Amino acid sequence: MSKRKYEQRTDLEKIRSQWVKLTGLHSREEWSAAIVRCATAAEIAANFAVRRELVLKTKLDSGFVDHLLHWANGLDGKVTKLLAPLAKGSKRQNTFQKLRKNSQHIAEKRNAIVHRGEFCNEAESKAAIDKTRDFVETLVRLYEPTFRLEKK
């Protein structure tokens, strides 16, 4: 059986692929690279949530939703510019506000690595992985209650 190409996978399949990759990087002591993958997994989870909110609930065209995701530019943008406004006044509003703190931490660590060339240690990588697990699972479970990431 052949593997599906990455671009043909669903958002949930992409999150799981990123998770396998980042746990492997962490186990090989590539802590900074693991953090970058954490940010990628979290951003894909945000994409998933935005798509669920906009495509399924409002029936907006998927191409327009993809445009909004590109416009929001990064994890923090997707949380602050799209998810938070979409949840305003709903029972998910508090959840999105709590997730925003994790998303900011994840994005800050990723940006320090990618834009400033910083290196991270094992403790920082583990903290990012823990925050990412909480962010991804909490966000995705709003729409897919049985979703879980592998523990290694």
Prediction pTM value: 0.93
- For domain 12-141, the CATH class is mainly alpha
- SS3 letters for the chain? CCCCCHHHCCHHHHHHHHHHHHHHHHHCCCHHHHHHHHHHHHHHHHHHHHHHHHHHHHCCCHHHHHHHHHHHCCHHHHHHHHHHHHHCCCCCHHHHHHHHHHHHHHHHHHHHHHHHCCCCCHHHHHHHHHHHHHHHHHHHHCCCCCCCCCCC
Structure tokens at 122: 């094992």
Instruction: Give 93-131 pLDDT, tens digit per residue.
Output: 888 888 988 899 999 999 999 999 999 999 999 999 999
Q: Which of 129, 144, 128, 130 is nearest to 49 (CA)?
A: 144
Q: Which of 121, 98, 120 is nearest to 111 (CA)?
A: 120
Residues 68, 50: Cα–Cα separation, whole Å: 9
> Residue 86: pLDDT above 80?
yes
Domain spans of the chain, in order of start: 12-141
pLDDT of residue 1: 41
Per-chain mean pLDDT for the chain: 92
pLDDT band at 145 (very low <50, low <70, confident <90, very high): very high
Q: Do residues 35 and 110 make contact, with C-beta atoms less than 8 angstroms apart?
A: yes
